Structure 1
Amino acid sequence: MIASCKKEYRNPSGANSDDVLTTAKGLTGVTVGLQRVYTVGRLGVYFNSVSTTGFSTNEIMLMNSGNIPELQLFTGGNSVDGTNNILTNLWTYSNKIIFDADNVINNAANLSDQNYASGLIAYASLYKALALGNLSQYWENIPSGIGKNVSFISRVEGFNKAIAVIDNALAVIAAKNISSAFLANMPAGIDIVNSLYAIKARYALFAGNYPVALAAANSVDLTKKSTFNFDAQTLNPIFEIATSTNNVFQPTNANLGLTGANTPDPADKRLAFYTVPNATAPTARLGGFGLTSTTAIPLYLPGEITLIKAEVYARQAAPDPVNALAELNKVVTKQPAADPFGVGAGLPPVVVVPLTPANILPLIYKHRCIELYLSGLKLEDMRRFGQPNADRKRNFFPYPFVERDNNPNTPADPAF
């Protein structure tokens, strides 16, 4: 009778958590799942990041006011609160990625095949860094870890934490090359090493660590692609939710929502890449990386890395405006055929007189807005380049009630 009362509620058709986290097969499954949580559908971190930034910075317009979370972001200001499902998804699933990635990173080191383990750690670290970076882009403070009543750290500490995760992954790879067996078990498209350096450059720039950003950017092979791939079963989330239905969002206009000095040159070939003319309203519809259900989405664009270099040269302790302009003009003059993704302005080179960082930085901002349209990076750019608050609908976001109601350490919401 004592034996018969033992409470062990195991799903006979499911895996035990200990089995999952102690075998290469189990850890591989968790690792593959990280990309799914990051990219797939309305719950995916990617879609919610693009939506949050897009609405808040006027990149996109709302097509149906019945979509309440989108309406809140499109309206901005105090209309956005802790009930917003887009922000809740962004918060919840970023933290889930961090939790799952930690399980992979901490347990992969115990595998006998250290080359396979190297791949697991590197791949999981990439998604952990992306999750930390996304949290740090939208909230003034982020959780210091995963657990009950955790404390919070500043967003800059969050970016630096993401960089530390990447540095550990790069060290692991340097010690043990990633095995071909691991790569064969991963979704196609991701260039792990180049992606680690690209994301490190991005977050070092955001944290104001310019030497680290430049060194990382110089380590990225700009001829290589790193993509989230989609197929008939796993659809491109931008196409699935917005492009195919015309019920959520579309580009604000053919100028990507940019006005004044930031208005694109009509001859800029990137406009035809990112938008598709339409006979009826909206007259500009989504193209680019939301064009079809199977269009691959870049984890980073080569143009982003070049513009990181340009910005670093302009902002570093001893500014180098000559090299800043040279890097900027690589993006300005690039023809679509010269870019792995077909993103090219094809314009004459920019002339800056006098050649000073103060005169170059606004142009770098403008071309980031165009080159990296709907990538989820514009809000961070607007803050970093000192754009007026009036040009965006929020600066930082309130903490989701799912956190505030369960963690007394949750900071106060920002005023705007």
Structure 2
Amino acid sequence: MKRYFRNKYGRAALAGLLLFAVSCKKDYEDPSGPSFDEGVSTPNALTNIAVGLQNWHSANRTSLVYTTIAASSLLTGETYVVNAGNTDENQLYLGGNNVQNTNVIVTGMWGYANKIIFDANRVLNNTGTVVSDPNYASGLIAYTSMYKALAIGTMATFWNYVPDTTGLDLDVSFISSQQGFRKAIAIIDNALATVNANAISATFTRNIPAGIDIVNTLNALKARYALFAGDYELALATADKVSLTAVSAFNYNTLTTNPIFTLVTATNNIYQVVDSTMSLPLGLRPDPADKRYPFYVTISSNPRFRVKGFYTANIQSIPVFLPGEMTLIKAECYARLNDLANGLTELNKVVTKQPSADAAGVGAGLTAETAATVDELLNLIYKHRRIELFMGGLALEDERRFGRPQTERKRTYFPFPFVERNDNSNTPEDPAN
């Protein structure tokens, strides 16, 4: 029997995967795999698809982990290209119109995100009829929804419009990035409601890769995307539900390795951190005593500044979210709601935190900040988000949201890949920059 990736997004993902070897084909067949329908006919089959989402999300050069970190860090100046022969990364480093619609980072992120959504939909659309155990079904829905929300949120972070849905060879319509963030929130809300009705079974958690705290991650992503969508009340309330002692991370092993370490840190051939400023302008740069700087950046001889943080070993885990992100979300929400006092209180929880007091080991260990106005507070929040979440894939969205000058980034949004434009007449015009 043959398995067909009948949705063009499945084909797009595989096209990204095979870009170096073959031209794009209309269908990709796996003669050894089950048929398309058989692939969703049992709980085990659905679980296998769900588990595969983590590989699409986090395992290689065109996975969402690599592409989001590479794109955000290069576009915002956190990193620079060591070897210009890495053409796709170098396009991002140069920015502007140098970023082509065929760029492997752009096409890979787009294809993999849509492939994740497509596979997630297969799981979510069949769980109710295939899985009889409500607690197992709850885990399957929650885990799958997490990756679907991450995929939509990633596209909304890097494109000003995202597909509204997926279908079989249809010209899908597009929604704005802000609507995309709200769509991700709606997916998470459904998952959380499902878990509240039926707790996730231990049987399900034993069948998925270790490392992910599903419920805390769903709430963390909801808080993140609510902030990005400008729903500050919702973001504030949701961030407050996330345990700051929770550790939720993508785990790696000697077969499936940390892609940033494997491709970047170990080779020193693609990109490296720029310098001690952590890409921040005068007035916002790290304090020399900030303990987060030596956590994220190591000093060497050639080059002098090198990637560190969560990218120092091939089996090192990469967090899905950091505790400091949740606290900074609360600080920003208070500030944007004109509550200076509470915003400053939350900010200083991050500023004064010692590394040993943080579940991920990230701590500034500084004296408390002061701010006389909300605008001053927002500048400080931006500064500490950029340091606390360094090379975390969120810097580009932060620059846009805080209204930073265009000169501080190489490009604001990606162009749309030709793999989409050539198949979909509804694809929007590319953003100017």
What is the TM-score with the length of structure 2 in the denominator? 0.92
- 1:83 is displaced (CA, Å) by 1.2
Correspondence 1:399 to 2:416: yes
Moved more, 396-405 or 251-260: 251-260
Gaps of 5+ in 2: 4-29
The aligned residue for residue 380 of structure 2 is: 363
SS in structure 2 at match of 1:17: coil
1: CA distance, partners of 2:428 / 2:211: 38
Contact (CA 8 Å) 2:2, 2:35: kept in 1 or not? no
Contact (CA 8 Å) 1:159, 1:204: kept in 2 or not? yes
Aligned length: 404
Correspondence 1:231 to 2:279: no
2: CA distance, partners of 1:372 / 1:74: 20
Distance 1:406 1:12, change over 3 A: closer
Match of 2:140 among 120, 145, 152: 120
2: CA distance, partners of 1:134 / 1:164: 15
SS in structure 1 at match of 2:283: helix
Task: Map Cα deviations across residues 140-198 of structure 1 (whole Å, 9 max, x no partner).
Answer: 11111113210111111100000000000001101111110000011000000000000
2: CA distance, partners of 1:203 / 1:289: 23
Moved more, 140-149 or 87-96: 140-149
Task: Map Cα deviations across residues 211-270 of structure 1 (whole Å, 9 max, x no partner).
Answer: 110111011011110010011111001001100100111111133222301110010000
2: CA distance, partners of 1:360 / 1:9: 58
Contact (CA 8 Å) 1:41, 1:240: kept in 2 or not? no
Contact (CA 8 Å) 1:74, 1:393: kept in 2 or not? yes
1:311-326 matches, cutoff 5 A: 311-316=332-337, 319-326=338-345
2: CA distance, partners of 1:252 / 1:390: 16
2: CA distance, partners of 1:57 / 1:213: 25
The aligned residue for residue 24 of structure 2 is: none
Distance 1:35 1:311, change over 3 A: same
- 1:12 is displaced (CA, Å) by 7.8
RMSD of the TM alignment (CA)?
Answer: 1.1
1: CA distance, partners of 2:339 / 2:370: 16
1:99-118 matches, cutoff 5 A: 99-110=118-129, 111-118=131-138
Specify the code of the residue in structure 1 equivalent to 2:384. Answer: H
SS in structure 2 at match of 1:276: strand
Correspondence 1:408 to 2:425: yes
Match of 2:70 among 51, 54, 72: 51
Identity, % of aligned positions: 52
2: CA distance, partners of 1:109 / 1:28: 13
The aligned residue for residue 91 of structure 2 is: 72
Correspondence 1:195 to 2:217: yes
Contact (CA 8 Å) 1:255, 1:271: kept in 2 or not? no
Task: Map Cα deviations across residues 323-377 of structure 1 (whole Å, 9 max, x no partner).
Answer: 000000000000000001110000000022x2x2111000000000000000110
Contact (CA 8 Å) 1:231, 1:294: kept in 2 or not? yes
Moved over 6 A (4+): none
Match of 1:290 among 311, 314, 334: 311
Contact (CA 8 Å) 2:354, 2:363: kept in 1 or not? yes
Distance 1:340 1:103, change over 3 A: same
2: CA distance, partners of 1:116 / 1:383: 40
Contact (CA 8 Å) 2:2, 2:33: kept in 1 or not? no
Specify the code of the residue in structure 2 equivalent to 1:312. Answer: C
What is the TM-score with the length of structure 1 in the denominator? 0.95
2: CA distance, partners of 1:81 / 1:51: 16
